[in-house]
Structure 1
């Protein structure tokens, strides 16, 4: 039995029509990932990039201290809380605690002591005072070598945070530009050599099935078909690989060329976007207002 919520989720992930989504889920026995592929094969999916949809509210943070860089995310129920002074102070305390202790997982952060109490206690107090559920979601601690340097950037006060580790001639402008590239263009990998083999093979099979269904491909020599297939797979992953992306300040230039021109190498990067992958509870704002009035 395919539910309306499943159809809605697939629509938001792909941009396809309601009936197409229902048919895809029916054909794939309700398997969401297979339904996305099914729509792509049929050429119906309009927005494959929406798979990591943004849902929950709150803020992310990025900060560096010496050879340590950190990113973390704290979620709230509404966007209003992201501007709350107590919430922002909570983030400041968490930031300083992680930089001092280098706590690298959620449990370690929550049990960290501060002059105001443990992080878990502070979150409980914030939840009680602000009146919304506050949760510490995730953290990344990145250590760099002495001959490496950081680039960091926060967009819209922390809706998106990015941290890049670079090597070569230290250049703060280049470092920030790369962090901004990561924030704005949302790459998944540094280069195509970093893509897991099973991910490449999955895309290759998907593109192959799409080509088989294309009448224009009929009768083409095998060597030509293999070249077309490679081109399609490379094109799919181009925007996911940072070095292959167009540089946001000069679309005629690839990021790899920008780094080479500045004698800098990219070592790694981390990107957090508030609420990515979290399902947000559905609300009817009008009903909520009426319930407040009646209450």
Structure 2
């Protein structure tokens, strides 16, 4: 077996842009023959994957997968929306969502789990697909919800294919009532969450730091009125209550019937379901949420390419 030196790995990495461990494996498989290793990496779809990995991937798809009383949601990013319409990419995201469902939505476990039929992990398969599809892709995040008694309903907004779209929502409802009726109400709640962007199920579950930050903003705003501190305190408390109503799911006006809050809508739904309903938790994924996108001047890019 050839002795694989660091300089050989470096040379192959510079030629292909593949990862260091992939370069070492390629050289080992080809007895130190760099050119054969290049072809090996190309065949595996790993060449240039590392170079593509430096590019911002803020498009892609959110995918959901459901079982009887559990569901998972994943976000797999690509560089362009065009790839999100690619059937190969769609099937990959759908499969990743299913693997996430089998692993309780845990991101690390899902990344390390076997991608069905690929003979490698989800993370490794994604790296291989970077070479095949030609864009940087990342398995950014995943989450799962489950209940002992009840259902986990889902909703996908701006769907490009069944279970795939730009916004994915899961909502867990606990109840011993009729599951079909519960699932139907759960989908309505999931649609509401997609539209209304709640931060928590109840006011008590709000992040204290979020509440305190809002309180400080409201205090500064109230001080602009020039009123005394005791009046300012009352003004702020009133506005904080309003803030709770705006961002806590149960307090929001229900998009299906704005005359009711979500909490009251759940109470009404109990008549159809035949048992009490508790909204336990939710997950809301928006594609590219929080990713800083690069602004590009397409005309300038074309001009640069022509001049090169």
TM over 0.5: yes
Q: Which residue of 1 aligns with 2:191?
A: 180
Tell me if structure 1 keeps the 8 A contact 2:73–2:100. no
Q: Which runs of 5+ in 1 are unaligned?
A: 1-54
Match of 2:256 among 215, 238, 249: 249
Q: Distance in 2 between matches of 1:291 and 1:150?
A: 51
How far apart are 1:116 and its partner, in Å?
1.4
Q: Which runs of 5+ in 2 are unaligned?
A: 1-56, 160-164, 271-276
Alpha-carbon displacement from aligned partner over 1:206-236 (angstroms, at most 9, x marks no partner): 2122211214xx25x83x5433221111222
Aligned ranges 1:92-107 → 2 under 5 Å: 92-102=94-104, 104-105=106-107, 107=108
Match of 2:174 among 161, 164, 167: 167
Cα RMSD for the two superposed structures: 2.0
**Normalization by structure 1: what TM-score?**
0.74
Q: Distance in 2 between matches of 1:268 and 1:228?
A: 31
Q: Distance in 1 between matches of 2:84 and 2:307?
A: 28
Tell me if structure 1 keeps the 8 A contact 2:96–2:122. yes
How far apart are 1:86 and its partner, in Å?
1.3
Residue 150 in structure 1 maps to residue 152 in structure 2: yes
Tell me if structure 1 keeps the 8 A contact 2:200–2:247. yes
Residue 132 in structure 1 maps to residue 135 in structure 2: yes
- Paired residue secondary structure (1:97): helix
Q: Which residue of 1 aligns with 2:35?
A: none
Tell me if structure 1 keeps the 8 A contact 2:219–2:232. no
Q: Which has the higher contact order (CA 8 A, sep 6+)?
A: 1
Q: Distance in 2 between matches of 1:238 and 1:76?
A: 36
- Paired residue secondary structure (2:288): coil
Residue 202 in structure 1 maps to residue 203 in structure 2: no
Alpha-carbon displacement from aligned partner over 1:152-198 (angstroms, at most 9, x marks no partner): 10011210000001123332221110010111111111111112334
How far apart are 1:292 and its partner, in Å?
4.8
Q: Which residue of 2 aligns with 1:282?
A: 295
Task: Report the structure number with the largest CA radius of gyration.
Answer: 2
Tell me if structure 2 keeps the 8 A contact 1:86–1:126. no
- Paired residue secondary structure (2:136): coil
Which segment is superposed worse, 129-138 or 247-256? 247-256
Q: How many residues align?
A: 235
Alpha-carbon displacement from aligned partner over 1:45-65 (angstroms, at most 9, x marks no partner): xxxxxxxxxx91111112111
